Amino acid sequence: MYSKFIKMLLPLPSFIEVSFPSDEEPNVFPVTVGAYSVPCPICQEKTIRHAQTLRRFRHGYAGHIGFIWIEMAIPRHRCVACDLTFTYDFGLGIVQASSAMFRKELVRRCLGRSIADVAREYELPYTTVER
Ligand SMILES: [Zn+2]
């Protein structure tokens, strides 16, 4: 139930499971990934996961709790046919430490307001918001 609520709040692909944050870090939601397969972006053949890195990125913002972070293992895949290796972010558009959804929300907030204003509200550096 709680997981469903979080999913409503933070749109994520359906094969991603959200867990409770810890007491120490109530803004960090660990997520795990169920079964999925990723075809090679070049030849469309099957790929295998050969490594993964645990990463945190901003995925949302709630006035009373601040940033909502997602912590998840981001895999590296290798194509069995052409040997291409690539990082797969499950379509979340992770760049540095934020997802595409977070950046879109930030842009929406900037409409009709100054960048400095939004940077203050989010406690982010001016240049980060500007980008
Ligand atoms: Zn390939």
Distance (angstroms) between ligand 1 centre and the Cα of 78 equals 8
Centroid of ligand 1 to alpha carbon of 109 (angstroms): 40
Per-position b or e across 6-22, b if 16+ CB within 10 A of its CB = bbeebebeeebebeebe
Q: Distance from the CA of 48 to the center of ligand 1, in angstroms?
A: 11
Q: Ligand 1 centre from 44 Cα, in Å?
A: 6
List, in order, residues 6 or more apart from 86 with CB less than 8 Å away. 41, 76, 77
Rounded CA-CA distance 83/76 in Å is 12
How far apart CA 97 and CA 131 sit, in angstroms, is 13
Q: How far is the CA of 52 from the centre of ligand 1 (A)?
A: 19
Q: Which residues contact 47 (CB under 8 A, 6 or more apart)?
A: 37, 38, 39, 40, 77, 78, 79, 80
φ and ψ at residue 37, rounded to 5 degrees: -140, 145
Segment 14-32 shows an average pLDDT of 89
Distance 73 CA to ligand 1 centre (A): 22
Confidence of residue 6 (pLDDT cuts 50, 70, 90): low
**Cα 58 to Cα 71: distance, rounded to the nearest angstrom:** 9
How many domains, in total, are found in the chain?
1
* Mean pLDDT value of segment 28-57: 94
List the domain range (segments joined by +) for residue 103: 2-130
Comparing CA positions, the residue from 66, 127, 76 lying closest to residue 102 is 66
65 pLDDT more than 80: no
From ligand 1's centre to the CA of 86, what distance in Å?
A: 10
> Mean pLDDT across the chain, nearest whole number?
89
- The mean per-residue pLDDT over the stretch 51-78 comes to 91
Give 69-112 pLDDT, tens digit per residue: 999 999 999 999 999 999 999 989 998 899 999 999 999 999 99
Q: What is the pLDDT of residue 49?
A: 95
Q: How many residues does the chain have?
A: 131
